[in-house]
Structure formats: C-alpha cells, structure tokens
C-alpha cells in the first residue's frame, strides 16, 4: 500500500472515530430532548447511520477503481523483479470498521445532575476503555504495518504475508498448476526434504487480476527460457499483450479460470 493510501485510510478512519464520538457524547443527549419523541428517534437513527456508514461509503467511493485490479505488474527499481503490492481496499475497510466500532464501544454515562453524557468516572467502567483502545491500535497496525507483497524474480517467487517471507523456486513448482480459486491461488511445490508442499497466495489482498497472476506463474513454471527477462519493461509488455490476446478470443473464459491460459511466446 502506498503512502498516499495509508494517509487516506487513516484520515477516513479517524473521521469515523470522531463522528461516532460526537454522536454519542454530544448529539445523543440533544436528540433525547426533541419533541415529539418519535421525531427524535428517527433523527437519532438517521444520525447514527450516517456516522457509522458514512466513512465506509466514502472510502468505497475513493477505492471504487481498485475493485477491478489490473492485469499488470509493478517493476522493481533495479529491474530485477516484478512486484505486486497489497490492495489498499481491504485494510482500509477493516481499519475504518475498527475505528467506528471503537468509538461505538466507548463506555459512557450521564453526568450527574445534568442531561449531558460523558465518560464514566467509575474505575470498573473506565477499565472497559482498554477494548476500544486496542481496536484503534489494531486499525493503525492494519494501515501502517507492512502488508502482503509478491515478488517474481528470475529465481522464483517470494510471498510475504505479514512479516515472514516465503520463497519458492521456479524449478520446485509441480506441473499442472497453479490452481486459482476465487480468493486464493494454490501452488504445489517440492520442499527442501523433497516432499510435496502446498502454498497459498491470498489474491484478494493483492492489487492484481487473479487470472493474470495465475497465467504468469504457470507461464514461467513451464517456460524457463523467459525467466531471465523478469523485471524488464519489454517482458511486462509481452505478458500484458499475451493476456489481452487471450481475453479477446471468443472462447475465452472471464473471471476465475479453472486452469489459467498459456501466454504465447
């Protein structure tokens, strides 16, 4: 996820946190005083809906183009790898949801002698504030800690989930794969002990077309003579052109393929 998307997701998430907080501690008491009571109830429902769903809808509008991930790679600066970064859509939505729910779970009580609402003074209730605090920390972690990343190099595939990278050499991939699904791509490969292992790439967390990625992985597994060009502009253009030609065929299957197509040389 780029810095711009991290800042955008943080800004929208904090907006949701503040909006729900203002509703709970400022507006809610005002709605209690609206007459008739039915009007206050409907105003209350509308306000809480806007406060809780508004940030998610705003972020959905901002990320609408990301819901159709591209069939391409980002080139590493040294031109020695193709890189796929994590999509900002999933961590952004999760962070916003956590921030909104953090404000929603803040303990509150009526200030004695008034009709205002404030934070509790009881130590037992104050201890409950640890829950929303943890939710806020989790939201920041989703946005700012390193996310998933995939790198294709002439040597093989590097999959980074959270903090632990996992390397798979092209020569270790088993024939007949990869096996794309709706959310993941499963790779069968030989482990250091010679036994067959299985790894999954969580495609829905990456900013790339799943069928395109599965196609390229199969291509390099079966065509080792093309691996040395991984990371170059010419090779990226060739992959994109081959995939577009396959999609243009009348018999091409769109969406998630049972078996990825073959990119012609």
Contacts of 83 (CB under 8 A, 6+ apart): 73, 74, 75, 76, 149, 150, 151, 152
Mean pLDDT confidence for 111-133: 79
Distance CA 122, CA 109 (A): 10
What percentage of the chain has pLDDT greater than the value 70? 90
Distance CA 218, CA 215 (A): 5
Contacts of 18 (CB under 8 A, 6+ apart): 103
Mean pLDDT confidence for 56-74: 88
Burial class (CB within 10 angstroms; exposed 0-12, middle 13-18, buried 19+) of 254 = exposed
Please report which confidence band the pLDDT of residue 84 belongs to, taking 50, 70 and 90 as the band edges: very high
What pLDDT, on a 0 to 100 scale, did the predictor assign at position 36?
A: 86
Can you give the pTM of this predicted structure? 0.77
pLDDT single digits (tens) 124-143: 777 888 999 999 999 999 99
DSSP annotation of 223 reads: -
Mean pLDDT confidence for 215-223: 89
The answer to whether the CB of 197 falls within 8 A of the CB of 189 is: yes
Contacts of 191 (CB under 8 A, 6+ apart): 172, 197
- With a cut of 50, say whether residue 254 has pLDDT above it: no
- With a cut of 80, say whether residue 10 has pLDDT above it: yes
- With a cut of 80, say whether residue 258 has pLDDT above it: no
Contacts of 236 (CB under 8 A, 6+ apart): 72, 73, 75, 82
- Please write down the long-range contacts of 223-230, taking CB distance under 8 Å and 24 or more positions apart: 223/265, 224/170, 224/171, 226/265, 227/154, 227/170, 228/154, 230/80, 230/81, 230/82, 230/152, 230/153, 230/154
Distance CA 9, CA 19 (A): 15
- With a cut of 60, say whether residue 225 has pLDDT above it: yes
Angle between helix 89-104 and 37-62 (nearest 10): 160
What pLDDT, on a 0 to 100 scale, did the predictor assign at position 256?
A: 44
The answer to whether the CB of 263 falls within 8 A of the CB of 187 is: no
Contacts of 98 (CB under 8 A, 6+ apart): 13, 135, 136, 138, 139, 142
């Amino acid at each position: 996820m780029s810095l711009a998307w991290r800042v955008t997701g943080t800004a929208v998430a904090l907006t949701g946190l503040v909006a729900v907080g203002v509703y709970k501690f400022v507006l809610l008491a005002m709605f209690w005083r609206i007459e008739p009571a039915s009007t206050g109830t409907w105003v209350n429902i509308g306000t809480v809906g806007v406060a809780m769903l508004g940030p998610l809808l705003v972020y959905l509008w901002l990320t609408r183009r990301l819901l159709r991930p591209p069939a391409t790679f980002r080139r590493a600066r040294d031109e020695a790898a193709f890189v796929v970064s994590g999509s900002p859509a999933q961590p952004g939505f999760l962070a916003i949801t956590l921030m909104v729910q953090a404000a929603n779970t803040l303990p509150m009580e009526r200030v004695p002698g008034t009709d205002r609402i404030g934070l509790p003074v009881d130590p037992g209730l104050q201890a409950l504030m640890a829950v929303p605090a943890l939710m806020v920390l989790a939201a920041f972690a989703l946005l700012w800690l390193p996310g998933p990343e995939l790198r294709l190099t002439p040597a093989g595939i590097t999959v980074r989930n959270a903090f632990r990278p996992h390397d798979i050499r092209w020569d270790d991939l088993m024939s007949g794969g990869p096996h794309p699904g709706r959310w993941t791509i499963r790779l069968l490969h030989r482990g250091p002990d010679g036994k067959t292992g299985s790894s999954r790439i969580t495609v829905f967390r990456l900013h790339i077309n799943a069928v395109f990625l599965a196609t390229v992985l199969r291509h390099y597994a079966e065509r080792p003579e093309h691996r040395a060009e991984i990371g170059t502009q010419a090779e990226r253009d060739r992959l994109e052109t081959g995939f577009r030609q396959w999609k243009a065929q009348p018999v091409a299957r769109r969406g998630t393929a049972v078996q990825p197509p073959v990119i012609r040389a």
